Structure 1
Amino acid sequence: MSVQSGKQFVDLVVDLDGTLIATDLLWESIFQLLKQNMLYLFVVPFWALRGKGYLKHQIAERVRIDPALLPYRQDFLNYLREEHGKGRRIVLATGAARRFADDIAAHIGIFDAVYATDATRNLTSKLKTQFLIETFAGRSFAYAGNSRADIPVFEAAGEAIVVAPDRAAAKWQRAHPTRLFETPKRSWKAFFRMLRAHQWMKNTLIFVPPTLDHELTNWSVLGNALIAFCAFSAAASAIYIVNDLFDLPLDRQHARKKSRAFASGAFSIPFGLQMAFVLLAIAVLLATRLPLEFGIVLGVYIIATTAYSLALKRMLLIDVLMLAGLYTVRVLAGAAATQIEGSFWLLAFSSFFFLSLALVKRYVELQHTALFEKNRIAGRGYRADDREMVAQCGVASAFAAALVLALYVDSDSVVRLYSYPWMIWPLCPIVLYINIRIWILAHRGEMHEDPVVFLISDWRSQIMIAIGAALLLYGGARA
């Protein structure tokens, strides 16, 4: 019991996961452990068999959490600081591992005592209740928590403070009116940002093969392309979610990415895993409606994007080659779904064009990111002085794409497909204009981090793309 100017304050005991911070350290640390080495996936279950406390302890011995980067519930933390300033004794009692709890307590600097999980004891729910009753030896205490596991502690405490409650804790709070720090409202906009819905535009590449083969007006072909588009969009969103879960520490160091759904704590990690599973199930179900070849391409895409998220994006040049390959895989998926034979010209053009865009993405990151690890940009394999070389490679790839397109326009394939091949020639300067303009804007520092998002929102690029599409669809009727 603390005292200030004759006034007594009941000690305030504070939970950590979901209460003080808008995340769960067990889930976060599991993903960071797997990011270090995926083989831990086979070890974690054996640790869990020895108890949740042992599991948390073993993970904490191998993973470091930076307390400065965690998403704190700022309104509640401000309240704690005010109470601490009044002389109230504040205690941290958490089911998180001791090592994590001590680091966070040291960072915040307001806790008079820290009780946490160790290798033999998982300090949650009824065990936490019993421990606090014994620790306070009959003295009253206040408790701040957020979840179903905290309800037994609420019942034992002299005062309960409910912070951002889950469904069970919210129901308890309504039945026992007490101080409430409400959960920030989640909007549909935030949900679609979690899915990266704007990135679905990349999957319109699926429509390229039937468009170039003049089969887009065939309802059967169009229907298959639409199903393929939905399958790829669902799979892509699932992979984006998993990628975000692995990249939480890096995203929180980034000026824009720190506001992402999981980095900010707007959505919980278990919710993200559930959504990823549902989205993958949708993708697989849709794939069963299409030819087997499409399912194979979709499987390759899922494996490749997962490998990219876990390791390849940190490898110099391998990352941009993989990104360019993933764009090209979308074109192959369109060909597989519609049973249209893939063109060598199309694949060659796609490889160079999208390699240029991938290099733009890295160039902008090198330009705008100030956080470096051992002279490298955080989470990447590039150094600050690689920027000019990246730009040179990107511009060269842009001209290579235009060259492949020019050779294609002069090939027998165009003569066979178009009555007026000369109407396809303007595509070459259009492609150069789009690509080189992107590089000039990137050099000026005026480019969005993702050039594909830029293309979607830039009206000049949209006009160029519309002109090119008109030349392909209407100016070049099948002979």
Structure 2
Amino acid sequence: MSSTVSRPLVVDLDGTLVATDTLHEAATAFLTHSPLGVFRLAGWLRRGKAHLKAELAARTELDASVLPYRGDVLTWLEAEQSNGRRLVLATASAAWQAQAVADQLGIFHEVIATADGVNLKGSAKREVLVERFGERGFDYLGDHGADLSVWGAAATGHVVVGARRSLAERVGRVTEVGMVFPSPEGRLRALGSLLRPYQWVKNALVLVPLFTAQRLDDASAVLQMLLAVVAFCLVASSVYVLNDLADVVHDRHHPRKRLRPFASGRVGLLTGWMLWPALAVVGFGLSVAFLPALFVAALAAYLVLTTAYTFRLKRQPVLDVVVLGLLYTSRIVAGAAAIDVELSMWLLTFSMFFFLSLALTKRVNELTRIRRTMGQVGVQVRGRGYVETDLELLSSYGVASSVAAVVIFSLYVDDPKTSVLYDTPELLWCGVPVLLAWLMRVWLLAHRGTMDEDPIIFATRDRASLVAALLVVAVFVAAKVVTM
């Protein structure tokens, strides 16, 4: 047996074996279930990190089966273990978390972790390892400069390069450098994807009152609306970040969502907890500085409602889709507040039924895919309040809402007040079959399970949907400019 194989290989956990921080995982799980618990976290932290970890240990669980393990590191460790190498997991994570990981992987012979009020990090970890294995009696694999003292006591230092690419050079000054695992690329792109810029198309609904009030020739109103859209995009992105934080464990169980930045570990959870309030502050700062108080109030109402949806309401069946419909409609309300125009009840009522129908397509699409892929009766949608057998009932709700939206649009066309706004209001009837055909097609695709989960995003990439949208716009323009 070589001297290398005879020496135990000590492996760090956070940032090394997994591309996340287990303390942040536990804190996120705690805050997701108890948002006001942030004050308790601060109190526990004042008594030291070891105390914080112990308190979180009593209140949270770690699903080690879906943690974002570093594939290159894990493959190497498995090879070392199969060659007879003794692997030791030594981490500042709480003992219960470290043991959960060790049990999941089954390659570690020993676990050394934070316990009994001692935070096993830096010099504290060095002392324990030297006492256990002796000076230069072990090799160490880590990823953070805080462990330089540990590397200094190791025979060989293996390095996972994180944010600081000079780490391997620093390790080389205190011990011989062995394996160096590069940091995954694309972190900046992952940060950008957290904002979900493709979702900003929904915020174009803020512009609807500008068109319905026929104020496109008002430069001041147009500028106000553009500022309102920017503010809404910032605040909406802050909620998307918060939603991904709250859903990180559920996302890891999803075949597609597991690739999201937090779920995959490409962006740390702590970064998210700093990013989402910063985006909200900038969005509200812009609103307070340049937009009417009513818009600020509408934006605040949107933030409150969508935050409640993130933490509670999305798990309440039926209520969740009603809230989604309200969130779409709230964008139109905010747009009206931005330029101080009155919204018609026709528009508000149509919007509510129309977007309620689209929200229901999301759930029907999810349930259809579950029914086809799992083939089991009564399967629960993870993170939602629905079961597979709700599919037919939700479909009936959605189709009924679609028909109601088309009927409301027809009544709007027939309203005498509409003739005041358009030179040839009769042409608006041409939009009725287009709208009805598009909604029925959306429901057909939802039942087939071939539509993206978000129908608005689907519509921006679907040729038939784009043609339908252009036809409806052309109908409104013709009704305004054509005289018969």
Q: 2:443 aligns with which of 436, 439, 442?
A: 439
1:51-66 superposed matches below 5 A: 51-66=48-63
Residue 103 (structure 2) pairs with residue 106 (structure 1):
yes
Q: Which residue of 1 aligns with 2:90?
A: 93
Residue 150 (structure 2) pairs with residue 149 (structure 1):
no
Question: What SS is found at the alignment partner of 1:115?
Answer: strand
Residues 389 and 29 of structure 1, relative CA distance in 2, 3 Å threshold:
same
Preserved CA contact (<8 Å) 1:211 1:473:
no
Preserved CA contact (<8 Å) 1:23 1:265:
yes
Counterparts of 1:315 and 1:399 in 2: how far apart (Å)? 25
Give deviations 1:374-405, integer Å, cap 9, x for gaps.
94211111111000100010000000000110
Greater CA deviation, 61-70 or 202-211?
Answer: 61-70
Residue 227 (structure 2) pairs with residue 232 (structure 1):
no
Q: 1:386 aligns with which of 377, 387, 390?
A: 390
Residue 280 (structure 2) pairs with residue 280 (structure 1):
yes
Counterparts of 1:206 and 1:100 in 2: how far apart (Å)? 46
What root-mean-square deviation, in Å, do the aligned CA atoms of Structure 1 and Structure 2 show?
Answer: 1.9
- Matched to 2:256, the amino acid is R
Preserved CA contact (<8 Å) 2:31 2:38:
yes
- Matched to 2:141, the amino acid is A
TM-score norm. by structure 1 comes to 0.95
Counterparts of 2:161 and 2:286 in 1: how far apart (Å)? 37
1:67-78 superposed matches below 5 A: 67-78=64-75
- Matched to 2:77, the amino acid is L
Residue 322 (structure 2) pairs with residue 321 (structure 1):
yes
Residues 200 and 125 of structure 1, relative CA distance in 2, 3 Å threshold:
same
Counterparts of 2:216 and 2:275 in 1: how far apart (Å)? 32
Preserved CA contact (<8 Å) 1:214 1:473:
no
Q: Which residue of 1 aligns with 2:467?
A: 463
Preserved CA contact (<8 Å) 2:136 2:153:
no
- Matched to 1:253, the amino acid is H
Residues 272 and 126 of structure 1, relative CA distance in 2, 3 Å threshold:
same
1:148 CA displacement: 2.7
Q: 1:475 aligns with which of 475, 479, 484?
A: 479
Residues 397 and 102 of structure 1, relative CA distance in 2, 3 Å threshold:
same
Q: Which residue of 2 aligns with 1:43?
A: 40
Counterparts of 2:275 and 2:386 in 1: how far apart (Å)? 32
Preserved CA contact (<8 Å) 1:28 1:245:
no
Q: Which residue of 2 aligns with 1:355?
A: 356
Q: 2:23 aligns with which of 13, 22, 26?
A: 26
Residue 9 (structure 2) pairs with residue 12 (structure 1):
yes
- Matched to 1:452, the amino acid is I
Question: What SS is found at the alignment partner of 1:16?
Answer: coil
Counterparts of 2:148 and 2:438 in 1: how far apart (Å)? 59
Counterparts of 2:116 and 2:378 in 1: how far apart (Å)? 34
Q: Which residue of 1 aligns with 2:343?
A: 342
Preserved CA contact (<8 Å) 2:378 2:388:
no
Q: Could you list the runs of 5+ residues in structure 1 that have no partner in the other structure?
A: none
Give deviations 1:207-227, integer Å, cap 9, x for gaps.
111111111232111111111
Preserved CA contact (<8 Å) 1:146 1:166:
no
1:206-217 superposed matches below 5 A: 206-217=206-217
Residue 407 (structure 2) pairs with residue 410 (structure 1):
no
Preserved CA contact (<8 Å) 1:22 1:266:
yes
Residue 301 (structure 2) pairs with residue 300 (structure 1):
yes
Counterparts of 1:184 and 1:405 in 2: how far apart (Å)? 51
Q: Which residue of 2 aligns with 1:174?
A: 169
Preserved CA contact (<8 Å) 1:210 1:216:
yes
Give deviations 1:451-470, integer Å, cap 9, x for gaps.
11111100111011011112
Question: What SS is found at the alignment partner of 2:262?
Answer: coil
Counterparts of 2:226 and 2:52 in 1: how far apart (Å)? 45
Q: Which residue of 2 aligns with 1:269?
A: 269
> Percent identical across equivalent pairs?
39
Question: What SS is found at the alignment partner of 2:78?
Answer: helix
Residues 362 and 137 of structure 1, relative CA distance in 2, 3 Å threshold:
same
Residues 139 and 154 of structure 1, relative CA distance in 2, 3 Å threshold:
closer
1:192 CA displacement: 3.1
- Matched to 1:25, the amino acid is T
- Matched to 2:56, the amino acid is I
- Matched to 2:108, the amino acid is F
Question: What SS is found at the alignment partner of 2:141?
Answer: strand
1:478 CA displacement: 10
Counterparts of 1:29 and 1:7 in 2: how far apart (Å)? 35
- Matched to 1:395, the amino acid is V
Counterparts of 2:191 and 2:247 in 1: how far apart (Å)? 18
Greater CA deviation, 334-343 or 266-275?
Answer: 266-275
Q: Could you list the runs of 5+ residues in structure 2 that have no partner in the other structure?
A: none
Give deviations 1:74-120, integer Å, cap 9, x for gaps.
00000000111111111100111111110110111111110011241
Counterparts of 1:291 and 1:25 in 2: how far apart (Å)? 43
Number of aligned residue pairs: give it: 474
- Matched to 1:165, the amino acid is G
Counterparts of 1:7 and 1:450 in 2: how far apart (Å)? 53
Residues 7 and 302 of structure 1, relative CA distance in 2, 3 Å threshold:
closer
Preserved CA contact (<8 Å) 1:54 1:118:
no
Question: What SS is found at the alignment partner of 1:160?
Answer: strand
1:62 CA displacement: 1.6
Counterparts of 2:416 and 2:128 in 1: how far apart (Å)? 81
